[in-house]
Amino acid sequence: MRAMARWIRADLRASKARAVVIVGVVAGVVLALLLSAGLLQGATNPWQGLFTATRGAQIWLHLSPGTDVSRLRRQLRDIEAVAGPYSSTAASVVQHGQRVRVELRAMTPVPPAVGRPLMTSGGWLTAKSVHGVVLDASFAQAIHAAVGSSLVLDNVDETARLRVRVLGIADTSDQGFYPDQTPGLIWVLPTLLREIEPIAGRTEEVVGLRIANPAATNVVVQQVVTQLGSSAVGTVSTWQQVQQSMSRRDPLLGLLLALFGLMALGAAVLAIVNVTSGRVLLQNADLGMLKTLGFTPVQVMGMMTAEHAIFTGAGILVGLAAARLLTPLLLGRVPGVSAVAATVPSGWAGIILGGTFGVVLLATAAPAWQAGRVKPIAAVRSVPPRGHLSRLASYAMAARMPPAVVLGARAAFVRKLSAALAIGGLAMPMLMITIGLGFWATLDDVQRNPADIGLAARVTASPGSLTPAQAYQVVSADPQVQSAYYCDRVEALVPGETTTITTLGMGTSQQPYPFHVVQGHLYHAPEQAVATEALLTSLGLRIGQFVRMWFGGVPVTFQIVGRIIDPQYGGEVIAYGRDTLADEGAPAPIGFYSLILRPGVSPATAAARLTRTSGGRLDVAVVPNPADQLGIVRAALVALIVVLAVIALTSLLTASLLGYRDHERDVGVLRAMGLTPLQVRSALMARTTVLALLAVVVGAVVGRLVSTSLISAVSRLYGLGSGIGRPPSMTTLAAAIGLAIIAAAVVGMLPTRPFGRLPRVAVLGP
């Protein structure tokens, strides 16, 4: 209707500030939700996007050299295409005195048809650059290498050392993200491979199989292993494994952001309802006049709703544009997530946008209905309901508390619904900020005490070119090393699983590695094992049960005696004493030392020392602390806290404006009664501050109570077990509360400035 449109237009012109606030809040929420969805998508299914983009292979086999794969394709109908065989060898990248294990894979300058790495920067291998290499993106990020960087490559016995240049960086769906799945992948020219590792026996053949029916993967693997002979097959990895590996670390992040995004939506809705119903109260007279002019209640409600729909729609568009802009910038920084994989599928985007629109509109339905019910007697201003000077207030006055403060505090509660909304609108953000601070404190704690999440040993040392005995000498001689445990990492086949799982022989049954045990106990005898929750779940095991595994053909039966926390290997770890394997006669592969450092020693320093001491022959690596990679979480927390603070400020401002309006009528009377202008201002400030104080304290208390259990629940999901949750420290909380009160006082002071200048009589009036 033309008249409705006219009113909406005029109102939009007149209330620019309110429009900006609502649009901003909605845009912020949409941005947060889209980013979380992107991350969630990047986390839950980065593999899918990459697989499609790289035309990947579902099965990858590491075969001993000389295996003949030519007949595979013919004999197995399910195989669509074969990638490779590519020669591959183990090597190390030497950087900053540390050695990082890598796999060099030889490919030709012509990118393959199947399993083609997706260039994210730079270019592919070229015959012109013999010493040019291409790095896997996740690996490159981990070692901070970029296009043009120069790396030093060592072979396994360190007999050859080469300096190479990074030509390009690419994403691949062949294996999981580094450092989840080690070693890091580097593509090189065949000539370079031969240069590094001329001994043919040390290379493996890597073959990728692309099959038509992904569901038949397990069947195909069994057929292939049968065909080629299990002695020829080193490791097998399937797409399920890769997908799982790629998705393992990030659910924490995605979950966090999704949680926060939804809570931000809740807080935003509260803020918007606050702003809107405050505005209805402020505009009571005008709305009544509209009714007198002849707008029906339905029309008034419709006008308000239409206006809010416009705001919300604008906010959604702005949020969408911001998300488009910021996704590649922000999400590209998350380790292991490529911007390609992090695009939000249109279904999700539709749900987010539609859902936000619906939720916000629904939330504003209540104030809109309120507006529709305004009585058409236009002459009535919005008079605050009669309040009584409560007994509490009378006592306070009698106790000589400043009258201004008492009046202000009492005035805060005259409008019950508004007070409730204001308190809710402030308490919610405060609650979430407290939880956010709890997450921050937990991250701090985990970084400081990685032993709490099971990272006892921060440094590993492989003997490299030394004998194990020599290595032990070097390691134990180092004053910064508290204890060293010799560990084996062995792949084992579990029946029912088509892929091998990584098992660890850490220390011996008499001297087990000090895992962080949460249930049961460590292994004290051979054939006892402990495992993480994630592994137990994936194998369907419980404490006390037995499991049989094959180590290179030798079956070993373990009894699960304990549940541990260990974030390595994606949180799926099963460990036992090394003597178990020695007893059973299974071949013991080359192991490494897990070094537990003295408290306070930085792993990087210790690693550098060890490398120096051993003359570079000890292969030292720092075990990455997952908490280090959660830097993006900190950034996200900061951003969310800012958004929440803005939302809280909005609620505060509305409450303050309402109070100002109600107060306006009383100011003249108060001043005539003898309150100085300063006291009048104080009364107003007191009103806002009391509301804020109540809200903030409630939010902080509840937040503190809730944050520990929330973090524990989340970390349980992540496989870290419960118990790592830390509440925010009291000083932090006190600081946050103090800041909030100051902000409230400042905001409460803002509208009062005119009061200092108004002549006494002017405010008294109808």
Partner 1 sequence: MTGAGSSGNDGRLLLRASGLSKTYTGDGVIVPAVRGVDLRLEHGEFVAITGPSASGKSTLLHMLGGLERPTSGEIWLNGERVDKLSQARWAILRRRHIGFVFQFFNLVSNMTVADNVELAALMAGASRKQATTRRAELLGELGLAAKADAAPARLSGGEQQRVALARAMVNRPLLLLADEPTGNLDSAAAMAVLRLLSRVHADGQSILLVTHDLRVASAADRVVSLFDGMIVDDAPMPVKQRPTPLPDVLKLRG
Q: Are 39 and 334 in contact (CB under 8 A)?
A: yes
Least distance from partner 1 to the Cβ atom of residue 419, Å: 22
**Chain center to CA of 82:** 37
Residue 593, Cβ density class (10 Å: 0-12 exposed, 13-18 middle, ≥19 buried): buried
3-class SS shares of the chain: helix, strand, coil, % to 5:
55, 20, 25
As a whole number of angstroms, the distance between CA 554 and CA 551 comes to 5
As a whole number of angstroms, the distance between CA 281 and CA 366 comes to 13
As a whole number of angstroms, the distance between CA 217 and CA 78 comes to 9
Q: Which of 98, 87, 81 is nearest to 65 (CA)?
A: 87
Task: By CB under 8 A, tell whether 497 contacts partner 1.
Answer: no
In the list 128, 144, 215, 298, the residue contacting partner 1 (rule: CB under 8 A) is 298
Between 259 and 289, CB nearer to partner 1: 289
Three-state SS sequence of 253-281: HHHHHHHHHHHHHHHHHHHHHHHHHHHHH
Q: Three-class SS of residue 582?
A: helix
* Residue span 228-267 as binding mask against partner 1, x where in contact by CB under 8 A, dash where not: ----------------------------------------
Between 279 and 563, CB nearer to partner 1: 279
Task: By CB under 8 A, tell whether 542 contacts partner 1.
Answer: no
Task: By CB under 8 A, tell whether 385 contacts partner 1.
Answer: no
Q: Are 454 and 694 in contact (CB under 8 A)?
A: no
Task: By CB under 8 A, tell whether 525 contacts partner 1.
Answer: no
Of 328-357, binders to partner 1 (CB under 8 A) are none
Between 88 and 284, CB nearer to partner 1: 284
Kindly report the backbone phi and psi dihedral angles of residue 587, in degrees, each rounded to the nearest multiple of 5, phi listed first: -65, 130
Between 321 and 377, CB nearer to partner 1: 377
Least distance from partner 1 to the Cβ atom of residue 375, Å: 8
Between 298 and 383, CB nearer to partner 1: 298
As a whole number of angstroms, the distance between CA 19 and CA 589 comes to 68
Task: By CB under 8 A, tell whether 296 contacts partner 1.
Answer: yes
Q: Three-class SS of residue 551?
A: strand
What is the token pair recorded at 589? 């592969």
Task: By CB under 8 A, tell whether 414 contacts partner 1.
Answer: no
Q: Are 249 and 572 in contact (CB under 8 A)?
A: no
Written as one letter, the residue type at 668 is G
Task: By CB under 8 A, tell whether 764 contacts partner 1.
Answer: no
Between 280 and 670, CB nearer to partner 1: 280
Between 214 and 376, CB nearer to partner 1: 376
Least distance from partner 1 to the Cβ atom of residue 54, Å: 58
Least distance from partner 1 to the Cβ atom of residue 277, Å: 17
Between 147 and 289, CB nearer to partner 1: 289
As a whole number of angstroms, the distance between CA 298 and CA 354 comes to 24
Between 325 and 380, CB nearer to partner 1: 380
Task: By CB under 8 A, tell whether 388 contacts partner 1.
Answer: no
* Residue span 274-293 as binding mask against partner 1, x where in contact by CB under 8 A, dash where not: ---------x-xx--xxxxx
Task: By CB under 8 A, tell whether 158 contacts partner 1.
Answer: no
Task: By CB under 8 A, tell whether 6 contacts partner 1.
Answer: yes
In the list 10, 130, 362, 642, the residue contacting partner 1 (rule: CB under 8 A) is 10
Between 14 and 199, CB nearer to partner 1: 14
Task: By CB under 8 A, tell whether 215 contacts partner 1.
Answer: no
Of 15-34, binders to partner 1 (CB under 8 A) are 15
Between 496 and 766, CB nearer to partner 1: 766
Least distance from partner 1 to the Cβ atom of residue 295, Å: 6
- Rounded to whole angstroms, the maximal C-alpha distance in the chain is 103
Between 319 and 367, CB nearer to partner 1: 367
In the list 201, 479, 759, 766, the residue contacting partner 1 (rule: CB under 8 A) is 766
Least distance from partner 1 to the Cβ atom of residue 388, Å: 13
In the list 219, 320, 378, 608, the residue contacting partner 1 (rule: CB under 8 A) is 378
Instruction: Give the DSSP H or E segment for 565.
Output: strand 554-565
As a whole number of angstroms, the distance between CA 309 and CA 330 comes to 30
**Region near partner 1 per CB under 8 A, out of 151-159, 376-384, 519-527, 659-667:** 376-384
Residue written as token pair 């794969």: 69
As a whole number of angstroms, the distance between CA 371 and CA 298 comes to 10
**Region near partner 1 per CB under 8 A, out of 13-21, 51-59, 444-452, 695-703:** 13-21
Kindly report the backbone phi and psi dihedral angles of residue 333, in degrees, each rounded to the nearest multiple of 5, phi listed first: -80, -20
| Residues in the chain, total | 766
As a whole number of angstroms, the distance between CA 601 and CA 482 comes to 10
Least distance from partner 1 to the Cβ atom of residue 307, Å: 12
Written as one letter, the residue type at 474 is V
Least distance from partner 1 to the Cβ atom of residue 142, Å: 58
Least distance from partner 1 to the Cβ atom of residue 763, Å: 15
Between 294 and 479, CB nearer to partner 1: 294
Q: Three-class SS of residue 761?
A: helix
CA atoms within 13 A on the CB side of 247: 19
Between 6 and 542, CB nearer to partner 1: 6
Least distance from partner 1 to the Cβ atom of residue 286, Å: 5
**Region near partner 1 per CB under 8 A, out of 194-202, 295-303, 358-366, 642-650:** 295-303
Between 34 and 282, CB nearer to partner 1: 282
Least distance from partner 1 to the Cβ atom of residue 20, Å: 16
Task: By CB under 8 A, tell whether 663 contacts partner 1.
Answer: no
**Region near partner 1 per CB under 8 A, out of 371-379, 428-436, 457-465, 723-731:** 371-379
In the list 218, 240, 299, 470, the residue contacting partner 1 (rule: CB under 8 A) is 299
Least distance from partner 1 to the Cβ atom of residue 15, Å: 7
Q: Three-class SS of residue 334?
A: coil
**Chain center to CA of 326:** 16
Strand partners, 556: 549
Task: By CB under 8 A, tell whether 420 contacts partner 1.
Answer: no
48-63: b (≥16 Cβ within 10 Å) or e: bbbbebbbbbbbbbbb
The region, left, alpha or beta by phi > 0 then psi within -120 to 50, assigned to residue 87 is beta
As a whole number of angstroms, the distance between CA 229 and CA 233 comes to 7
* Strand 500-506, strand 619-622: pairing: unpaired
Least distance from partner 1 to the Cβ atom of residue 381, Å: 8
As a whole number of angstroms, the distance between CA 724 and CA 442 comes to 7
Number of Cβ within 10 Å of residue 766's Cβ equals: 5
**Region near partner 1 per CB under 8 A, out of 3-11, 346-354, 407-415, 554-562:** 3-11
Between 297 and 468, CB nearer to partner 1: 297
Between 301 and 652, CB nearer to partner 1: 301
As a whole number of angstroms, the distance between CA 425 and CA 403 comes to 28
Calculate ∠ Cα 18-20-25, nearest 5°: 100
Written as one letter, the residue type at 398 is A
Least distance from partner 1 to the Cβ atom of residue 283, Å: 8
Task: By CB under 8 A, tell whether 110 contacts partner 1.
Answer: no
Q: Are 703 and 432 in contact (CB under 8 A)?
A: yes
Kindly report the backbone phi and psi dihedral angles of residue 528, in degrees, each rounded to the nearest multiple of 5, phi listed first: -105, 145
Between 297 and 355, CB nearer to partner 1: 297
Count of residues touching partner 1 (by CB under 8 A): 30
Contact residues for partner 1, defined by CB under 8 A:
1-3, 6-7, 10-11, 13-15, 283, 285-286, 289-299, 375-379, 766
